[in-house]
Structure 1
Amino acid sequence: MKLDNKVVWITGASSGIGEGLAYALAEKKCKLIVSARSIEALQNLKKQCQTEVEILPFDLADLDSMKEQVAKAISFFGKIDLLILNGGVSQRSLIAETDFSVDRKLIEVDYLANVALAKAILPHFIENHSGHYAVVTSLMGKFGSPYRSGYCGAKHALHGFFDVMRMEHQKDGINVTLVCPGFIQTNVAKNAFVGDGSKQLTDDEATQNGMTVPVFAQKMIKAIEKQKFEVYIGGKETLGVLIKRFFPTFLHYFVIRSKVK
């Protein structure tokens, strides 16, 4: 499946992976719908994309507005071929030092918001007997790491839900690709929640030295076009998925010794 000239809706499009995907898909002459909270950032993105772009700003935390957002999105071009669920937030805090409100917020934004939006657009996909969900989860959706307990929980949940979405609606011509990034050069660490719910505001070395967004975007697009069920994109950290499967105890002690933050 080629994405050229398709209608693509991207959440979390104001920066990082979402912004990079918008630029890459614009080169394929896709018609884009871009969403995030910042109208100004989305307007700047639109100016730099040499394709048709519609702006649909909203807050993922507003779970009850998803049907309304879907109706608006469909009205722009009459249909949606691909929904890229990219919006979310990370975490950098120990379990014992994390207020429960932070765990709740991570579940609401990283899991429930994506589920709510996916379910709201599902009737449209079923009616057209076609549609593709590309869900940006994380390697943390496959194995855990200290300081990311709530984030890992939300990302693991995405895998469970969308694996079933694929099983139940393959008969309706609907595809699901779960995309698991490793360390990518974005502001994910700076924007991550700490124990009291505020932002960390500092970067980490692994993220700074990670894969660039343009390279990641091309790899993700290729995986979507190949209709892969699941893909791991990054550096050596992607080996953690294989090690977790066959040597979980080794991975446990390796991650602890690595002293990640």
Structure 2
Amino acid sequence: MNFTNKVIWITGASSGIGKALALQLSNLDCKLILSSRRESELNIVKSQCNNPNNVAILAFDLADYDMMKPLAKNAISIFGSIDILINNGGISQRSLIIDTDISVDKKLMEIDYLGTVALSKALLPHFMSQESGHFVTVTSLMGKFGSPYRSAYCGAKHALHGFFDVLRMEHEKDNVKVTLICPGFVNTDVSKNALKGDGTKLEKLDKATENGLSVEEFTKRMLIAISKQKFEAYIGKKETMGVFLKRFFPKLLHKTVMKSEVR
């Protein structure tokens, strides 16, 4: 698979991984639909793309998951079809369970899980009717194993794996592909925007995130995984070993995480 002549819809495209994807894909012969809550920021990203005439802006909030059907219809009408949906939008969390109000858990599930699922379900009939389509969902290594201070985030990301594994099974006959991208630490503002236990933003770049992969290197690897139509891709540094420790040596993973200084 290559990206030539493809229409690619990216959520969370105003910054971080989504922005880097847009900039890299704009160098290829494809059309882009960029989405996030911040229309002004999306327009800045569009202006930085190689061919802005092939880039459309569609601002919306993933928390408005009841509005996804008309939104998907609108997106399809822009270029006449959609080939790839990159579910990249979402938020993170940094707080102990005991200190986290249930409203924070609810918000993480509404945005990271329900918003993503609702958007994908709204686009699914289109993929079925054209007998092709590719859902690319950015989850996290936290969708494969847990880490302190990220309970709600881990819960939402684990849920995404359950849903999209089943979607892949049910719609393989319709030539609908699913790729789950599991980032480790990537140097973006994800920790700055993460919610604390009271729902306010952390406003701090944690050391593990700062020392993570550059967003440019991450998105290069991500695009390779998409082009190969991988089921799952674990992209990061040594933290990716956690996936295999979880599978074969879960107690060792527990001890390793407990000894780390991840916050």
User: TM-score scaled by structure 2?
Assistant: 0.98
Aligned to 2:204: 202
Q: Which is further off, 132-141 or 1-10?
A: 1-10
Aligned to 2:94: 92
**Residue type of the alignment partner of 1:187:** D
Q: Secondary structure at the match of 2:60?
A: coil
Displacement over 4 Å in runs of 4+: none
Deviation at 1:57, TM superposition (A): 0.2
Aligned to 1:55: 57
Aligned to 1:81: 83
Structure 1 residue 8 and structure 2 residue 8: aligned?
yes
CA distance in 2 between counterparts of 1:236 and 1:28 reads 31
Deviation at 1:3, TM superposition (A): 1.2
Q: Say how many residue pairs are matched.
A: 261
**Residue type of the alignment partner of 2:202:** Q
Deviation at 1:5, TM superposition (A): 2.4
Deviation at 1:254, TM superposition (A): 1.1
Question: Deviations for 1:74-93, whole angstroms, at most 9, x for unmatched residues?
Answer: 01100000000000000000
Q: Secondary structure at the match of 2:190?
A: coil
**Residue type of the alignment partner of 1:141:** G
**Residue type of the alignment partner of 2:68:** M
Deviation at 1:240, TM superposition (A): 0.4
Aligned to 2:31: 31
**Residue type of the alignment partner of 1:43:** N
CA distance in 2 between counterparts of 1:103 and 1:71 reads 30
Deviation at 1:236, TM superposition (A): 0.4
Aligned ranges 1:181-220 → 2 under 5 Å? 181-220=183-222
**Residue type of the alignment partner of 1:153:** G
Aligned to 2:159: 157
CA distance in 2 between counterparts of 1:252 and 1:208 reads 23
Deviation at 1:28, TM superposition (A): 1.1
CA distance in 1 between counterparts of 2:57 and 2:70 reads 15
Aligned to 2:41: 41
User: TM-score scaled by structure 1?
Assistant: 0.99
Q: Secondary structure at the match of 1:89?
A: coil
Q: Which runs of 5+ in 1 are unaligned?
A: none
Which of 168, 176, 179 is the aligned partner of 1:177? Answer: 179
CA distance in 1 between counterparts of 2:163 and 2:140 reads 15
Q: Which runs of 5+ in 2 are unaligned?
A: none
**Residue type of the alignment partner of 2:162:** G
Aligned to 2:21: 21
**Residue type of the alignment partner of 1:186:** T
**Residue type of the alignment partner of 1:25:** L
Deviation at 1:257, TM superposition (A): 1.2
Aligned to 1:148: 150
CA distance in 2 between counterparts of 1:24 and 1:191 reads 24
Q: Is the 8 A contact 2:168 2:176 kept in 1?
A: yes
Question: Deviations for 1:105-158, whole angstroms, at most 9, x for unmatched residues?
Answer: 000001000100000000000000000000000000000000000000000000
CA distance in 1 between counterparts of 2:5 and 2:126 reads 19
